[in-house]
């Protein structure tokens, strides 16, 4: 089977969206599917260098370059333009390779649906997210980005009234939503048949050999916060909560995105400098995995998130999760695997997060071990191997239906 995989973000040895694109290609190819990856031209040099050292006959690449420097790669406008130019490149590749099916996997945005249905072959769109919006009463944590977030919320709520989006979704053979918020939005957009599937996975080699085994009197609770330090990730809210925690704790921040001085000030003005550790730089994929293993629990505070690859990564290594009961985290984290804090008012959420950390610290070893096991067991059912197997089954059904028709 020849599959065209649309992966705007795709890079070896990466996390987040670039890791998703790469893992889709890698694991589909391992099933014997001939995969041609359509991705950004900016990553060509790094991808081709990796391929020279790791040849794979089942994977080829096609590169799409946006012919303007006005928009930075990774921004919404660059992605929208990339989608337009991708159609021409895909048509050229299709004349050479005769694809059976196209599958768009990243970016996972309902706002900018793939246009590759124009090839006239079965098209799988997703899993896609983006249907979630930040709670209006929590927008104070967005600071100077508040107005942009409000605009995004209005745009998202207007999607059901867009005739173009309705038409585009109607052209897809299969649409998959990455969370319940996006599933509901897609249905409002006129697409009644929508599947639900998380938009990321973990490698079987990434999984820990087993869940954690907590020890009594192990000292402070070692929390880890992972992600780009963006307004919607709400690191200041996490710090506000930690300032109210009664038990002894430490926090390690993994990620970048703000100037070092800004982050240091954010920590210092809350009087937490002696207990919050931050390397001040982006860590490698291997360093992030090692950091998870050195901590007890993941603290996840995003106010708008499709699913959060950090959640599955942490659970794969047996970490319980303390998170908001919101969006992808609400859907992804099993009840037994962590503590979910209701999102009400800012003050109540801060107190709720602090209480959740204190509650975790007070748990018995057996209760913490049970949380760890629930996390690890859930991650075992969400590997890239199982994602690829399910995708192949779907591809076979769609291609068979096309041939019969």
Residue 207 lies in a domain: no
331 & 394 share domain? no
Give me the phi and psi of 110, to 5 degrees please: -70, -20
184-242: pLDDT as tens digits: 999 999 999 999 988 889 999 999 999 999 998 879 999 999 999 999 999 999 999 99
CB distance 128 to 42 below 8 Å: no
Tokens of 240: 């506000």
> Could you give the C-alpha distances from 19 to 8, 10, 138, 166, 371, in angstroms and in order?
11, 6, 30, 29, 27
In a domain, 55, yes or no: yes
Number of domains in the chain: 2
Q: What are the beta bridge partners of residue 252? A: 224, 277
- Determine, yes or no, domain membership for 139: no
Does residue 142 fall inside a structural domain?
Answer: no
For residues 393 and 373, state if they share a domain.
no
DSSP character for 116?
Answer: G
CA 288 remoteness from chain centre: 15
What burial class does residue 353 get, using C-beta atoms within 10 Å of its C-beta: 0-12 exposed, 13-18 middle, 19+ buried?
A: buried
Q: Is residue 38 domain-shared with residue 186, that is, in the same domain?
A: yes
For the record, the structure tokens of 17 come out as 């969206």
Instruction: Give the CATH number of the domain where residue 299 resides.
Output: 3.40.50.2000
pLDDT at 16: 80
Within a domain: residue 395? yes
Q: Indicate the DSSP class of residue 209.
A: S
Query: DSSP string of 319-362?
Result: --EEEESSHHHHHHS-GGGEEEE----HHHHHHHHHHHHHHHHH
- Kindly list the averaged pLDDT for each block of 10 residues, start to end, along the chain of length 405: 97 85 96 97 94 94 93 91 96 96 95 96 96 96 95 97 96 96 97 90 93 90 95 96 97 91 94 93 86 97 94 97 97 96 97 98 97 97 95 95 77
Taking alpha carbons only, the member of 201, 192, 185 closest to residue 384 is: 201
Gap between the Cα atoms of 382 and 377, Å rounded: 9
141 beta partners = none
- For the stretch 95-100, contacts whose Cβ atoms lie closer than 8 Å and that sit 24 or more positions apart, written own/partner, are 97/2, 97/34, 97/36, 98/2, 99/2, 99/3, 99/4, 99/36, 100/1, 100/2, 100/3, 100/395, 100/399
Radius of gyration of the chain (CA): 21
* Chain-centre distance for alpha carbon 41: 22
Shared domain for 49 and 197, answered yes or no, is yes
Domain that holds residue 356: 221-381
Residues 244 and 111 reside in one and the same domain: no
CA-nearest of 159, 114, 378, 196 to 370 is: 378
**Is residue 270 domain-shared with residue 296, that is, in the same domain?**
yes
Residue 405 has what pLDDT? 65
Q: Is the peptide bond before 107 cis (omega within 30 degrees of 0)?
A: yes
Cα 55 to Cα 15, 29, 32, 35, 52, distances in angstroms = 21, 12, 14, 13, 6
195 shares its domain with 253: no
195 lies in the same domain as 230:
no
229 shares a domain with 107: no
Backbone dihedral angles phi then psi of residue 89, each to the nearest 5 degrees: -65, -40
């Amino acid at each position: 089977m020849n599959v065209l995989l649309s992966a705007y973000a795709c890079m070896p040895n990466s996390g987040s969206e670039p890791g998703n694109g790469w893992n889709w290609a890698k694991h589909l190819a391992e099933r014997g599917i001939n995969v041609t990856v359509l991705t950004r031209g900016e990553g060509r040099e790094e991808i081709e260098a990796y391929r020279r050292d790791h040849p794979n006959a089942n994977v080829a690449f096609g590169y799409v370059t946006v012919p303007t420097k006005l928009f930075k790669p990774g921004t919404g406008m660059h992605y929208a333009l990339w989608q337009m130019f991708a159609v021409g490149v895909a048509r050229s590749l299709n004349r050479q390779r005769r694809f059976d099916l196209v599958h768009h996997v990243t970016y996972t945005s309902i706002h900018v649906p793939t246009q590759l249905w124009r090839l006239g072959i079965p098209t799988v769109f997703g899993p896609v997210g983006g249907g979630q919006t930040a709670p209006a009463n929590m927008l104070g944590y967005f600071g100077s980005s508040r107005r942009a977030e409000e605009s995004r919320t209005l745009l998202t709520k207007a999607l059901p009234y867009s005739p173009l989006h309705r038409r585009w979704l109607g052209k897809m053979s299969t649409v998959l939503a990455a969370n319940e918020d996006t599933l509901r939005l897609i249905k409002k957009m006129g697409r009644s048949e929508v599947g639900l599937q998380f938009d990321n996975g973990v490698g079987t080699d990434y999984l820990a050999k087993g869940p954690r085994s907590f020890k009594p009197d192990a000292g402070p609770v070692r929390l880890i916060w992972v992600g780009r330090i963006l307004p919607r990730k709400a690191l200041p809210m996490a710090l506000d909560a930690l300032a109210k925690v009664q038990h002894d704790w430490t926090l390690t921040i993994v990620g970048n995105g703000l100037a070092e001085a800004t982050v240091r000030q954010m920590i210092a003005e809350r009087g937490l400098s002696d207990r919050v550790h931050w390397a001040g730089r982006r860590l490698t994929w291997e360093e992030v995995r090692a950091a998870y293993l050195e901590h007890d629990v993941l603290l996840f505070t995003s106010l708008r998130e499709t699913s959060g690859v950090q959640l599955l990564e942490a659970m794969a290594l047996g970490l319980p999760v303390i998170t908001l009961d919101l969006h992808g985290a609400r859907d992804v984290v099993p009840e037994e695997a962590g503590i979910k804090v209701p999102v009400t008012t800012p003050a109540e959420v801060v107190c709720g997060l602090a209480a959740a950390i204190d509650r975790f610290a007070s748990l018995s070893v057996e209760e913490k071990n049970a949380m760890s096991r629930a996390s690890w067991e859930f991650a075992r059912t969400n590997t890239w191997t199982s994602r690829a197997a399910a995708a192949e089954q779907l591809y076979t059904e769609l291609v068979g239906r096309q041939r019969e028709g």
